[in-house]
Structure 1
Amino acid sequence: MIMEYTSVIFKIGGKILEDFEDLNSILSQLTQLYDNGRIQKIILIPGGGTLANFIRKVYSELKLTEELGHWMGVISMNYNGIEIGKKFPKLDVIEDINRLKKLDKCLCIFLPYQFLKETDRLPHSWDVTSDSITLFLAKELELHHCFLIKDIDGILNSENQIMKELSTSEYKSMKESGKLSKFESIEEELKNQSKPVDSYLTTLIEKWKISCVILNGKSNNQRIKDYFDESKPNSEKIFSIIK
């Protein structure tokens, strides 16, 4: 059973947004959902991507504080959002949270730095990435779900089977006991990058009771459009939801 969605917030992962074919596929699917009225308000949150990972890599070498590293990471999200807006000029690019709240209908990119700087309610830590920031924004916008578009099918167990639905306690237990699929980083220095989701996300899910859906945004599939297709049974959809 698929729920009714009027407003939906999607975080686009860094690897996905830096591949034009993937990004174009995602925006094509979302545009179809928007144009046919399936979703009236689509809010895109850009991940930090390569720039954020570079900041992770060098911040200790440059003796940056976590405070500075955190805000540099958020700025990298803004930068990527601006770049997406240049590539896809039909998308609105919004920085003002109040303007965003007043819109009943939009397909837009939200740049989070200004709002996060004004509220400053999240820890300044590498445990907090664009995953947690997206859920934080979902709370601010009074949404009950947030969506993370990544280059993976969802939460995979050690046998690479998709865990379609799991609680935060189940996720944490599997992670702590080594029962999640291992994600290898291309660079040793980036081995602590957040995969499949950042470490703080489960804390926010538990605190605010906002579920988090993970969808694969690679261009060789239509997982986003499929998820919102009411005619397709859940058994045929590929996703993970943590709640």
Structure 2
Amino acid sequence: MKPLVVKLGGSTAYHVEMKSWIGAIAQAAMPLVVVPGGGPFADQVRNAQARMRFSDRAAHFMAILAMEQMGFALAEMHPRLVPARSLADMGSALSAGKIPVWLPYELCRGAGDIPESWDMTSDSLGAWLAGRIGARSLLLIKQTDACADSVEHLAERGIVDALLPDMLGGGTDLYIAGPRSLQDAAPTLAAGRIPGTRIPQSRNLTKGAA
């Protein structure tokens, strides 16, 4: 079965919903890989760049390392979650019934198809990873709910990053889950289904079922 990639937004870091989402993810019946957002660690990179004036390229890699810091924090929140740096690590974790939490620096460091700028957030890195591992779907967990709008329109509104429409492969379905989806997320994932709203990848909107 193709895995589901779940990007858990760093904006949830200091909210009570974080533990609830982790608990729901841990009950997933399908193979699943977690992509951590950068959260407060990435915020510190932004603050430091404003004062130290280092390049966006340096900030890009520092923000990816911020995702790794968040990943270590997430992996401690449930025994089923384990850190994973490589595709081999992910495969081993999935084979053991675990849920790998991606530590992205190793895979991203030499990737020529990843723009080195703030436009490339964990949203688009989740899409990039989904393409690499042949994921059937990408679920973005946000602090806001989304209607069945196009991914392009969501990017224009700032709900997803600007590069996501280009980074998301045509073979990967996109879902967004916000606070309204949390209540039923655990039984939904335990049943092998995806919580949230399916997002069309073009402006020709076709509503999908979660």
TM-score, normalized by the shorter chain, greater than 0.5:
yes
Q: Which residue of 2 aligns with 1:74?
A: 64
Distance (Å, rounded) in 2 between the aligned partners of 1:23 and 1:169: 27
Distance (Å, rounded) in 2 between the aligned partners of 1:68 and 1:98: 27
Aligned residue among 109, 112, 119 for 1:117: 109
C-alpha contact 1:153 1:240 (8 A) present in aligned 2: no
C-alpha contact 2:22 2:77 (8 A) present in aligned 1: no
Q: Which residue of 2 aligns with 1:216?
A: 178
RMSD, matched Cα:
2.9
Q: Which residue of 2 aligns with 1:129?
A: 121
TM-score w.r.t. length of structure 2? 0.81
Deviation at 1:128, TM superposition (A): 0.5
C-alpha contact 1:91 1:108 (8 A) present in aligned 2: yes
Question: SS of the residue aligned with 1:146?
Answer: strand
Deviation at 1:93, TM superposition (A): 1.3
Deviation at 1:149, TM superposition (A): 0.6
Instruction: Report the count of equivalent residues.
Output: 199
Q: Tell me whether 1:56 sits opposite 2:51 in the alignment.
A: no
Alignment gaps of 5+ in structure 2: 202-210
Aligned residue among 33, 41, 55 for 1:43: 33
Deviation at 1:73, TM superposition (A): 0.3
C-alpha contact 1:144 1:209 (8 A) present in aligned 2: yes
Q: Which residue of 2 aligns with 1:188?
A: none
Identity among equivalent pairs (%): 21
Seen in structure 2, the aligned counterparts of structure 1 residues 223 and 203 have a Cα distance that, compared at 3 Å, is farther
Deviates more, 1:69-78 or 1:97-106: 97-106
Distance (Å, rounded) in 1 between the aligned partners of 2:124 and 2:67: 13
Q: Which amino acid aligns with 1:196?
A: I
Question: SS of the residue aligned with 1:32?
Answer: coil
Cα-to-partner distance string for 1:179-224 (whole Å, 9 max, x where unaligned): x5xxxxxxxxxxxxxx41111001112x544332110157x93253
Q: How does 1:37-186 map to 2 (within 5 A)?
A: 38-39=29-30, 41-101=31-91, 103-104=94-95, 105-154=97-146, 163-164=147-148, 166-169=149-152, 171=154, 175=156, 180=157
Of structures 1 and 2, the larger Rg is shown by 1
Aligned residue among 191, 199, 204 for 1:241: 199
Cα-to-partner distance string for 1:125-158 (whole Å, 9 max, x where unaligned): 111000000000000001132111111112xxxx
Task: Give the 4+ runs in structure 1 shifted more than 6 A.
Answer: none
Question: SS of the residue aligned with 1:87?
Answer: coil
Seen in structure 2, the aligned counterparts of structure 1 residues 238 and 79 have a Cα distance that, compared at 3 Å, is closer
Q: Tell me whether 1:25 sits opposite 2:9 in the alignment.
A: no
Aligned residue among 6, 12, 37 for 1:10: 6
